[in-house]
Structure 1
Amino acid sequence: MTMEKKVDHSRRAFLRGGALLVAFTLVPAARRAWADTEVDTLGTVVLAPDLPGSLRTNPYLDAWIRVGPEGITVYTGKVELGTGVKTALLQIAAERLEVSPTAINLLTADTALTPNEGYTAGSHSIFDSGTALFNAAAQVRELLLQSAGRSWDVVPALLTTQEGAIHGPAGQRMSYADAVKNVDLHLYAKSESPAMPATGFKLIGHSLQRLDIPAKVSGGPAFVQDIRLPGMLHARVIRPPRPGCTLEAFDAESIKTLAGVVQVIRDGNYLAVVARDEWQAIKAMRRGYESAHWSGGQAIPESRDIHTLLERLPSRRYPISHEGTPEAATDNRYRARVTKQYLMHGSIGPSCAVAWFKDGTLTVWTHTQGVYPLRAGIAEMLRLPPDRVRCIHTEGSGCYGHNGADDAAADAALIAMRIPGTPVRVQWMREQENLWEPYSSAMVTEVQANLDAQGRLQDWNYELWTTPHNERIVNAGRLLPARLLARPFISAPSVPIAQPEGDGDRNAVPLYTLASTRINMNFVTEMPFRTSAMRSLGAHINIFAIEACIDELAARAGSDPVALRLAHLADPRARAVVERVRDAIGWSQKSSEPGAGIGFAFARYKNIMGYCAIAVRLRVHPQTGEVQVDHVVTAVDVGQIVNPDGLRNQVEGGIVQSTSWTLYEKVAYDAGGIRSYDWSGYPILRFSQVPKKVDVHLLDQPGQPFLGAAEIVQGPMAAALGNAVANATGRRWLNLPLTRSEQPS
């Protein structure tokens, strides 16, 4: 397995010596509130606010496309997380360059080579990077046509391209490699690109086999866990029993005598062992756990008290939507309190990273979602110039958000600096992953709304309490190992993501037409647990709560819940996914089978991205409360579809994941500590519990902008499950997960 990409120091002056450009576009051009500014809402530099997608922050064409004698190389700052996005990005670039996908070498997320697109998160890969490549590739092709036209004295409009060559009307032929000799691709992109009708797409809109699958199914080297470098050493870390502990005693000498042990590292409360093979490292780690004695530590609350605690802890109140004038309440009103427990990412493979400090440069192979932010954090932690740290994304076996990948990379970096010239592999253990990864926040929401005499939604009041969903690496203090050092780093203050993206308040504003809204977020900053990003952030519970309210209001008014939704949806694309699911499922709320139920839900992710409607048929066992999902029907609209099979994979995967979250998952803990340290203490969906049948309807929008797909289904699926359980049992369950033990007696 080739682990290191060769750095071409001749390319792109603006990337030499490090990163000039930062972050990623947050919303489409039509919805940008900051389009006339030079700084976006995350405080990152926007060099070209009028350009589409990530061209706004990386406007030079040669940041994305390189053509030379060795072929065509395409660069993206986004990473493959198992979503198939690498394949889709390749399709987009190949389509607009009019070459075969096999003619392109696609490089992803490497601080020495690729543009800085911040994090691969929030369903932004195709939305931003795909849009950038769609335009950059088209403009590069146009420049190559102009070069050939000048050489032949032919108008470019008379030229055609095929498989990396330009053809003239008199039989002329010139390769892209020859045409680029007279072109400088270090140019600012233009706001307008050559048009290409969707009817002419040969790759976009068609299923291409995923690039990342063969190695995964054949047992080949597919993940960062598979990296093996010459002379590589193996390391394990020894964590405190809980955050805030102080190391009082540690017998390093007894560990150094163990076979194969190369080094024992202690720096304040940070402990690690390094050995010649992995089993030796594990044995040394176990001895380290036996000999380490700790004191103190942060208090952990009882899980039964967490939601009351969230409402009492110090918080900052953010108004999210205050519009319209509340009307007098009618009898058709509903009020509920909805809760969610802490969730963990539950990555199947615990976090891993490899680092190598060689010739004055530290190289880190990591399953991070953001190589540039991680590089900055590691450089600060090690007090190195950023240009002496290189982070290369390498897939990991599991992600789903901000898990332990960045922290494992920081572990590897710290340890590798102690052993110059030798690569070091750090592999976390399962219990370390479960105990130390950032969790998805527990939350409390309160919803209250009513219908007027005409059956119109009004007076929508929504209050939520949450800890941060975005503790990404903005300084060294966000890295777990940096907090344990003798000279510890302090985490940067928590700041929520602004709307329309949202944090815990993601999708807290319904897309439905409402007479008035009073929506607020209480952002809790003193946290009993470390929390950060997990797929869909707060949308999971917010859509669950919103859609439960819609169903309950419809019941009070004696109206059909799908009809009530349609009556309050003005967006024709929203209506289209709702109508498609309604018709495909054969919508009817009545069932003659005891314990059987049907539920419906809809949302547009962040109200700016993909549309999703879902209907679920299920059965609830009357004695055990066990839920069996029989049939799921969904319709999604993500604009122009790039890879239909890849999109269907994403939707089906989201349905399975959300089913697991909603019906089973929660972190178990009490005052004594975290109890979910292995799979026996953290229940996930089993194969026998997977939905028996899933139908996915893809509503393509040829020629329309790309919209994100990876996270559009988690919220609607949770809501449809909740509504179906209520329909089956006649009782509204409002605490996630939907187990009897979580509901009030």
Structure 2
Amino acid sequence: MSILQEEVTRRGVIAGTGALVVSFSLTRAFAQDLAPATPLTPPVTLPGSLDDERFLDSWIRIDADNSITVFTGKAELGQGIRTALLQVAAEELDVKPEDIVLVTADTGRTPNEGFTAGSQSMQNSGTAIRNAAAQVRALLLSEAAKRFAVAPAELKSENRTVLAKDGRSLTYGELVSELMLHVEAQPQSTLKDPGALRVMGKSLPRVDIPAKVTGGQAYVHDLRLDGMLHARVVLPPSPAAELSEVDASAAEAMPGVVSVVRDGNFLAVVAEKEFQTVNAMRTLAATARWQERESLPDQTDLPAELQRLEREVGTVAEAGVLSSGDNQFEATFMRPYQIHGSIGPSCAVAQMKADGSLDVWSHTQGVYPDRAAIAEMLAMPEEKVHVIHMEGSGCYGHNGADDAAADAALIATKVPGRPIRVQWMREQEHSWEPYGPAMLMKVNASLDRAGRIASWAYDVWSNTHSTRPGGAGALLAARHKSQPFQPKPPELNITPSGNGDRNANPLYAIANKRVLWHFLPDMPLRVSALRALGAYANVFAIESTIDELALMAEVDPVEFRLHHMEDPRARAVIELAAERFGWNGPQMPKNRGRGFGFARYKNLAAYLAVAMEVEVEPETGRVRVVRAVSAIDSGEIVNSDGIRNQTEGGILQSISWTLYEAVAFDRTRITSTDWSSYPILRFASVPDSVEVHIIERPGEPFLGTGEAAQGPAAAAVANGIRNAIGKRLYDLPFTRDRVRSAVGHA
């Protein structure tokens, strides 16, 4: 397997001649060995993730055979990041994308860039790689200039070669020397002018697609290693369940069974073949006796439950003085718990080797944090745990990937020597993955006599939206051991990018406002990061309110937004989406409406506006989005098709959340354990068309794209329904029963 073969060692670096051979794991050692003593002055800030991993050879490697390897700590999650990062590196190195081998998140080889989350891959890793590549190109030109005895400006680089005007040439591989690129990056790079770009800005085919459509090794689910065993975990039937007894004898006697593993509430079976393991798991589960108790909130009164769990209040934004007036709108909006809904259940492979080291293949979004959590769970040194990212079939945040990795790692220590493959069952994924938190949003807003927003009070009740690994207590296997690890207590933390309060502060010009986050540290249901975090629900509530205020002011909703928007880039996406939709066109037919939504993701990433045509069947309550037209500003474009893919996917997923998705539970167990009890958007309900119009911003910084559509799309659906039936729906999702009730067909 190619992903297993290439090991870069310190011995190889020291012995290497005529090539740069180095990996991230060695950069600190080299810095300690080679760097002279320097005064302890604060380092200058470097672009993107270069500020954390400051040596060029953490990002770019060139070998004597003229091969080029680029390293990123970010993971391909289906967002097309491998393709975009290849384009960035190829552009600044003056090579073809196919000339580069890109290595993604791997604790043995790549920089530590934390989690692939928050739509920050291009902002952080793309920026780092682009600047590193530009500086590497400059070093190569400088070295060639010395050898040719000419000025660097008289040389040009192309196709992995530096060319002189007199015809002389040297390949990159001939120019590099040992440690040549082991230098700290500079704060400024000579990046190519926008008009000179040849690779960036083009819609190149995604490099991750071929294996997915040809049956290749696309996902960790497809990984098959020599001697691999299969394992299944018997998860508890409910969050508070305790395993009182189990008779493993029948399962152990089944064909192919190698071992039954028990450690407290952790119970698993290992067998030679996968279906043998599934059968043995079912037999083992039938003999398990669990003591259960009520630990879940009352779903019939979830708003009251969330308010009861409040322990602390943080101020997200505050300006001016709140007031009340005659033109006042007050409302309460509700978002339920929702799942990631990964089509492929979580999966991982782990192998405990003879030297005491552990290899783990996982679709985690953070290989380094996952390594730390697994090492803590197993009481192993971190350097003995090697986590390699492989894609999973579905993601969208902190799903069960890290838990499956912990399951495989724990079982591998009990059955050393052979690779152990763990895959969750569908009901386990639905019942045990960390959910997107339920949220309650209250708005009180008023207009002045001129029809402008005079006062804005916004309150959101929410848990933290991130309990990602970093400690063993984030892993189910660690919690279920006989000596369990406890999760770290969540803390209220208000930052510019936001969490449960993400996008709670409107981007509109409002002189008098107050935004509060009512923090819930207790988590009756296990929750963590789901795509867009709090932005989905906050933008839904804010943009629904904006439409109601526009109705009160008797102003068109798009015009009302523009009246309150000062940011020119925000105005541009609002105007473009409205124009391409035909917002001022003929009146909609009966039972059809038009809806609009806007946000700048996190108030610091991509700008997105979307207009939708929505159809409502009053008798059945069925809602269908007929068409969606969006406009997005993601800064400088690397791959327009990638931006379009992410925006289209975000719109469709948001439609699914908004119309269908909610976790169901009683006081003891999760009850939405399959696709029937947890419905999602089906092909028959997909819009007839989804348009994405991209505003070009040459030379501007990259902006995060992947989660920009979630909130605006939900708002556009809500506002479209309001326009179609004349009634506002406040509680997500907008199920058929809720729509029928709103139109009087209960």
Question: Which residue in the other structure is 1:15 paired with?
Answer: 25
Counterpart among 321, 332, 355 of residue 350 in structure 2: 355
Distance in structure 1 (CA, Å) of the matches to 2:613 and 2:290 = 51
Structure 1 residue corresponding to 2:131, chosen from 121, 135, 157: 135
1:257 equivalent to 2:267? Answer no
* Residue 72 (structure 1) aligned to one of 43, 60, 68: 68
RMSD: 1.8
1:672-716, Cα deviation, whole Å (9 max, x unpaired): 421111111101001010011111111010111100110000100
Flag the 1:567–1:190 CA change in 2: closer, same or farther, 3 A: same
Which amino acid in structure 2 is aligned with residue 462 of structure 1?
Y
SS at match of 2:268: strand
Q: For the residues of structure 2 that align with 1:139 and 1:481, how far apart are their CA atoms? A: 44
> 1:426 is matched with which residue: 422, 425, 431?
422
CA contact (8 A) 2:228 2:419 kept: yes
Q: Does the aligned pair in 2 maintain the 1:476–1:489 contact within 8 Å?
A: yes
* Deviating more after overlay: 197-206 vs 489-498: 489-498
* Residues 200 and 335 (structure 1), Cα distance of their counterparts in 2 relative to 1, 3 Å cut: same
In 2, Cα distance between the equivalents of 1:175 and 1:497? 51
What is the alpha-carbon distance in structure 2 between the residues aligned to residue 608 and residue 665 of structure 1?
Answer: 28
Residues 1:55 and 2:42 are matched in the alignment? no
Say whether 1:639 aligns with 2:641. Answer: no
8 Å CA contact 1:18, 1:387 repeated in 2: no
Residue in 1 aligned with 2:2? 2
Structure 2 residue 169 is matched with structure 1 residue 164: no
- Deviation of residue 177 (structure 1)? 0.7
User: Which residue of structure 2 lines up, in the alignment, with residue 43 of structure 1?
Assistant: none
- Contact 1:577 1:635 (8 Å CA) reproduced: yes
User: Closer, same or farther in 2 for the Cα pair 1:379/1:347, shift >3 Å?
Assistant: same
CA distance in 1, matches of 2:320, 2:117: 33
- Aligned match of 1:741 in 721, 737, 742? 737
1:490 matched to which residue of 2? 486
The equivalent residue for 1:447 is 443
Contact 1:126 1:707 in 2 (8 A): yes
Matched, 1:344 2:354: no
Opposite residue 220 of structure 1, the aligned amino acid is G
Q: Distance in 2 between matches of 1:164 and 1:14?
A: 23
**TM-score relative to the length of structure 1:** 0.94
- Per-residue CA deviation, residues 80-132 of structure 1 (Å, 9 max, x unaligned), is 00011110000000000000111101000000000000000000011110000
Q: CA deviation at 1:316?
A: 1.8
Residues in 1 aligned to 2:128 and 2:24: alpha-carbon distance in whole angstroms? 18
Q: Distance in 1 between matches of 2:723 and 2:652?
A: 21
Q: Answer whether contact 2:23 2:110 (CA < 8 A) is retained.
A: no
Change (3 A) 1:49 1:566: farther
Cα deviation, residue 138, structure 1: 0.1
Q: Distance in 1 between matches of 2:311 and 2:498?
A: 17
- How does 1:631-670 map onto structure 2 within 5 Å? 631-670=627-666
Q: Structure 1 residue 464 and structure 2 residue 460: aligned?
A: yes
The percentage of aligned residue pairs carrying the same residue is 50
Q: Does 1:526 align with 2:536?
A: no
Aligned match of 2:543: 547
**Is contact 2:234-2:281 (8 Å) kept?**
yes
The one of 350, 364, 369 equivalent to 1:368 is: 364
Instruction: In structure 2, give the amino acid aligned to 1:315.
Output: R
Q: What's the CA shift string for 1:192-225, capped at 9, x where partnerless? A: 0013111111111001110110010111121000
Q: Contact between 2:27 and 2:55, CA under 8 Å: does it hold in 1?
A: no
Give 1:41's aligned residue.
none
What's the counterpart of residue 331 of structure 1? 326
Q: Return the offset for 1:591.
A: 2.7
Output the amino acid matched with 1:239: L
SS in 1 for 2:8: coil
Distance in 1 (CA, whole Å) between partners of 2:700 and 2:109 is: 30
Could you tell me which residue of structure 2 aligns to residue 190 of structure 1?
Answer: 186
AA partner of residue 275 (structure 1): A
> Would the aligned equivalents of 2:24 and 2:108 in 1 still touch at CA under 8 Å?
no
Deviation at 1:590, TM superposition (A): 6.8
Pairwise CA distance, 1:314: 4.0
**C-alpha distance in 1, partners of 2:579/2:231?**
56
- Aligned mates of 1:670, 1:462 — CA distance in 2: 30
- Residue type at the aligned position of 1:50: T
Alignment of 1:238-387 (within 5 A): 238-326=234-322, 328-358=323-353, 359-387=355-383
Structure 1 position 48, deviation (Å): 4.8
One-letter amino acid of the counterpart of residue 594, structure 2? I
Report the alpha carbon displacement of residue 12 of structure 1 after superposing the two structures with TM.
4.3
Q: How far is the alpha carbon of 1:671 from its aligned partner?
A: 2.2
Q: Is the 8 A contact 1:47 1:56 kept in 2?
A: no
1:347 touches 1:398 (CA, 8 Å); kept in 2? yes
How far apart are the structure 2 equivalents of 1:20 and 1:296? 54
1:103 aligns with 2:113: no
Shift of 1:16: 3.2
- Choose the corresponding residue for 1:535, options 527, 531, 534: 531
TM-superposed CA distance for 1:17, in Å, is 9.8
8 Å contact 2:588–2:594 — kept in the other structure? Answer: no
The farther-off stretch of 348-357 and 664-673 is: 664-673
Q: Which moved more, 1:722-731 or 1:519-528?
A: 519-528
CA contact (8 A) 1:598 1:615 kept: yes
Contact 2:294–2:668 at 8 Å: present in 1 too? no
Note the residue ranges of structure 1 that are not aligned, 5 or more in a row.
22-37, 39-45
Counterpart residue identity of residue 8, structure 1: V
The structure-2 alpha-carbon separation of the partners of 1:196 and 1:119, relative to structure 1 and needing over 3 Å to count, comes to: same
Check conservation: 1:18, 1:386, Cα contact below 8 A.
Answer: no
**Higher mean C-alpha displacement, 48-57 vs 91-100:** 48-57
CA distance in 2, matches of 1:713, 1:279: 40
Q: Is the 8 A contact 1:330 1:453 kept in 2?
A: no
Match of 1:150 in 2: 146
**1:739 positional shift:** 1.9
CA distance in 2, matches of 1:663, 1:265: 42
**Match of 2:35?**
none
- What are the equivalent positions in structure 2 for 1:617-696 lying under 5 Å apart? 617-696=613-692
Matched pairs, number: 721
1:577 and 2:573 are equivalent in the alignment:
yes
Match of 1:616 among 605, 612, 618: 612
CA-to-aligned-CA distance 1:117-170 (integer Å, 9 cap, x gap): 000000001111000011000001100111111111111111100100001122
Aligned to 1:34: none
Q: Which residue does 1:30 correspond to in 2? A: none
User: What is the deviation of 1:589?
Assistant: 8.3
Partner of 2:36: none
Go from structure 1 to structure 2 and tell me whether the alpha carbon gap of 1:284 and 1:49 turns closer, same or farther (over 3 Å shift). Answer: farther
Q: Match of 1:2, as an amino acid?
A: S
Which TM-score applies when normalising by structure 2? 0.94
